[in-house]
Structure 1
């Protein structure tokens, strides 16, 4: 039995689609089953509720061979630790008590760097990994940088203003990865019953690019000039601050972005395997995903 959390989210639904091509039964944890496509609901066992609820995860993990663990965003959490470790603690206990064999989660690069302990959401994510690893379950933490798909949040600005924004320096080269490649790696591990032990698996895409590099690619794909504009951390804080987000979670986001600009994702040594496991280039992602999204605005 495979258990998929967050099956209606951007990554979760792609993982679910992929594991359904296998021959193992699948169970999902979902707050609103109606958000699952009708064809999917007919093929999975549904446990309704939050995967932060001890009763829900205890029921969902009963007889589970493998679990895909993906944390939902909690913009109003009292602290980053509560959002990551606090939410995951009931599931970690259920993984141990129910005898779950393997767990795959979505985490972040950054462990071992000077900024790992002061990187906001990344620090919380790494602590979440430690909590899961502490159960003794066979574990693969998928560690990754920013997602290409995050650029979809700025589709309107790209189309109407010819610009996209972030706080990182324009020439700061970083890895990026497509969510479809994350899902492919996760599904492959979930369907593989042979692995043991605990490891981090880097999911970093096939190339490193700066935001200026990305703007050039977007311009070529869309056939219209698009540029990158760096904004200050103060401007980002002003944008994030509001009734929908706690001060602690705003600060967690700011700390992560500052750490990213100062080398949080450094130290990655690329190998040919990275391009095999995560083959989607930024140009290909722009052709397949970004361009249709811009045209649809």
Structure 2
């Protein structure tokens, strides 16, 4: 089986690459920056330089591939949803041109809403397009990545976090390594067919108050979280250098999950993964601080 992995050095991709290698697969690693792939990894994998928003590059890079782990781009952009649409076109054309039989797609909780969830609307559009193909597709509807906290590293150092979400509302939080484990098992499992959704919810739902308490215990200093207005958060994104369209799309992910949202997939044994936030803080956040 020849498996291609998009964004192999991302938070999920680096763990998925290792899992596939351990499983006896020599994956094809597709990335804009193959020079970032460690030389040790390239002893067990092949690499290709490809821009996921360029259909011709993706078609060329995936010839002879049996299955793909697909990730839509997440880069600073003036129009991120346009980039997502181009990436969707890329994977659809690659599947059709190369007869790729299986796709595992890194989606998100909220994609089931289809519209009104900012950047996640781009993921929803990819889900819809893949479901129109007569191939086997699994959408991984992932919870909120632990690694998103790394984007707030300076605030955490100061003992402060901000969100537009209610501080006492539980939501799924998940370690990217656990998403990678589910992705590897799905790619290597020959028994599933058709179009399916697999939620990845982490070990338990957490409120932002829970997160602040866990950080405070593990970091040995108080970390406080405050709920701020949508306008304040958008201003912070703009001050950080986001183009207005990107700021709106990122903010929309939170407001879309806050306002009139009910998750389609409920937590079950199948969606629950093992890595707790406290363990991830010890292994990844504290070294980054």
TM-score (norm 1): 0.90
Give how far 1:190 is off: 1.5
Give how far 1:217 is off: 1.2
- Residues 93-138 of structure 1 show CA distances to partners (whole Å, capped at 9, x for unaligned) of 111221101101111122554xx42111122211111112222220
* Superposed counterparts of 1:127-146, under 5 Å: 127-146=125-144
How many residues were matched structurally? Answer: 288
Give how far 1:23 is off: 2.1
CA distance in 1, matches of 2:154, 2:250: 23
Structure 1 residue 30 corresponds to structure 2 residue 28: no
CA distance in 2, matches of 1:54, 1:112: 26
Give how far 1:77 is off: 4.2
Structure 1 residue 290 corresponds to structure 2 residue 285: yes
Give how far 1:139 is off: 0.4
Stretches of structure 2 lacking an aligned partner (at least 5 in a row): none
| 8 Å contact from structure 2 (residues 55, 86) kept in 1 | no
CA distance in 2, matches of 1:131, 1:92: 7
- Residues 58-114 of structure 1 show CA distances to partners (whole Å, capped at 9, x for unaligned) of 22221111101012213324352x12122220221111221101101111122554x
Residue 280 of structure 1, aligned match among 272, 275, 280? 275
Which shows bigger deviation, 149-158 or 208-217?
149-158
**Coordinate RMSD, CA, aligned:** 1.9
CA distance in 2, matches of 1:129, 1:152: 27
CA distance in 1, matches of 2:135, 2:264: 28
| 8 Å contact from structure 2 (residues 54, 86) kept in 1 | no
Stretches of structure 1 lacking an aligned partner (at least 5 in a row): none
Partner of 2:118: 120
Partner of 1:227: 224
| 8 Å contact from structure 1 (residues 76, 244) kept in 2 | no
